[in-house]
């Protein structure tokens, strides 16, 4: 049975819950923040598989960007400057001298308008926001629509759409931290991840991409046949160590597989598959997660979750041969990411 519920939070936001017969997805109209995804394990136990703050007041500042819509540009823009048609724009500097995740007034901390809908095969909420010309330094009035849809087949779709009245840059993603063990019972060390990618972006000491690694074969970045995340945590690879012993890298999809990412936790039996028309994603394994913030059941710490930030890379602004993030006035930005949930071993 498909059902949508709505609850007032802290007298200023709404939390929506999309319910299907076997799972549910909850999120706020503030930042489009996903607070819960309840999915069954192989024994049928429903547990939360994303990180959330125990005290919802933490979403006001959201230092971990938990579950949020990220924009206008997801990722880091070096020196917080962009150039469009020979005009240079200075953006918010919110990570040293660089610009991160849309700046101080990013999409993660704005209040979105909403509209609910329901059909035979799915239910959802459409979130809308108009980002004014000059917000965080970006040019153009940008109208953004993000739709969250849960289907009867346990697919959770995030659809992005945007237009601008002035040439600008845009690349959106969602910043949920997944932990398929359920209710944070363990770290993500034993999560087995498969990624349709043979190329990554190489990072400098400020975590700014500066080069394309054309072949990740025989390295801890080759996930094409599946790999445990902990292999990168203990790796001597300079790129793994640079980001705090783990991953915070952009993977370019090879477009060889329908499922761009497959994540499995053998103990719980949960498996998550990701399909998308985005050209790649950042995988971040919480290597530098701020510690001591109270989450679902315990305090935040390293390796407690893993993000799969499907998007185009802002590095296209200074690196050739990457898909562009420029949005023209006669274009409509349209992207989709689909998360599907199942279990490896059905309950007997």
Q: CATH number of the domain that 182 lies in?
A: 2.70.98.10
Residuewise pLDDT in 10s, the chain (348 residues): 899 999 999 899 999 999 998 999 999 999 999 999 999 999 999 999 999 999 999 999 999 999 999 999 999 999 999 999 999 999 999 999 999 999 999 999 999 999 999 988 999 999 999 999 999 999 999 999 999 999 999 999 999 999 999 999 999 999 999 999 999 999 999 999 999 999 999 999 999 999 999 999 999 999 999 999 999 999 999 999 999 999 999 999 999 999 999 999 999 999 999 999 999 999 999 999 999 999 987 999 999 999 999 999 999 999 999 999 999 999 999 999 999 999 986 544
In a domain, 234, yes or no: no
Out of 15, 155, 220, 309, pick the active-site residue. Answer: 309
In a domain, 44, yes or no: yes
Instruction: Count up the domains in the chain and report the number.
Output: 1
Query: In degrees, to the nearest 5, what angle opens at C-alpha 181 toward C-alphas 177 and 186?
Result: 85
Could you give the CA distance from residue 264 to residue 267 in angstroms, rounded to a whole number? 9
In a domain, 257, yes or no: no
Is the overall model pTM greater than 0.95, yes or no? yes
In a domain, 208, yes or no: no
Could you give the CA distance from residue 156 to residue 250 in angstroms, rounded to a whole number? 23
Range of the domain at 109: 3-187+281-343
In a domain, 242, yes or no: no
* 309 annotated active-site: yes
And the tokens for 172?
């959106």
In a domain, 256, yes or no: no
Out of 175, 191, 220, 249, pick the active-site residue. Answer: 175
* 21 annotated active-site: no
In a domain, 130, yes or no: yes
In a domain, 273, yes or no: no
Contact 77, 325 (CB under 8 A): no
Cβ-based neighbour number of residue 152 at 10 Å = 15
């Amino acid at each position: 049975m498909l059902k949508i519920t709505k609850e007032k939070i802290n007298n200023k936001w709404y939390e929506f819950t999309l319910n299907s017969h076997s799972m549910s997805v909850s999120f706020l109209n503030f930042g489009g923040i996903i607070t819960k995804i309840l999915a069954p394990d192989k024994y049928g136990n429903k547990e939360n598989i994303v990180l959330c703050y125990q005290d919802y007041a933490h979403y006001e500042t959201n230092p971990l960007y938990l579950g949020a819509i990220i924009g206008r540009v997801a990722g880091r823009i070096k020196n917080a400057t962009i150039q469009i048609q020979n005009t240079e724009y200075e953006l918010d500097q919110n990570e040293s001298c660089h610009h991160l995740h849309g700046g101080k007034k990013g999409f993660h901390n704005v209040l979105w308008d909403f509209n609910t809908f329901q059909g035979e095969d799915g239910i959802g909420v459409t979130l809308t926001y108009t980002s004014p010309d000059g917000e965080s330094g970006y040019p153009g009035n940008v109208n953004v629509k993000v739709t969250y849809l849960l289907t009867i087949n346990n697919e959770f779709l995030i659809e992005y759409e945007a237009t601008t009245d002035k040439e600008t840059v845009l690349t959106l993603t969602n910043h949920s931290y997944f932990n398929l063990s359920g209710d944070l019972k363990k770290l993500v060390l034993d999560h087995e991840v498969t990624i349709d990618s043979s190329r990554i972006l190489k990072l400098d000491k400020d975590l700014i991409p500066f080069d394309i690694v054309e072949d990740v074969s025989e390295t801890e970045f080759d996930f094409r046949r599946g790999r445990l995340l902990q292999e990168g945590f203990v790796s001597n690879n300079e790129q793994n160590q640079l980001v705090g012993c783990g991953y915070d890298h952009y993977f370019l999809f090879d477009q060889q597989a329908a499922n761009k990412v497959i994540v499995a936790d053998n103990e719980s039996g949960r498996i998550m598959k990701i399909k998308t028309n985005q050209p790649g994603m950042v995988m971040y394994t919480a290597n530098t997660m701020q510690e001591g913030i109270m989450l679902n059941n315990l305090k935040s710490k390293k390796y407690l979750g893993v993000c799969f930030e499907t998007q185009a890379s802002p590095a296209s602004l200074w690196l050739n041969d990457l898909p562009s993030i420029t949005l023209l006035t006669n274009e409509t930005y349209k992207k989709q990411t689909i998360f599907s949930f199942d279990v490896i071993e059905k309950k007997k």
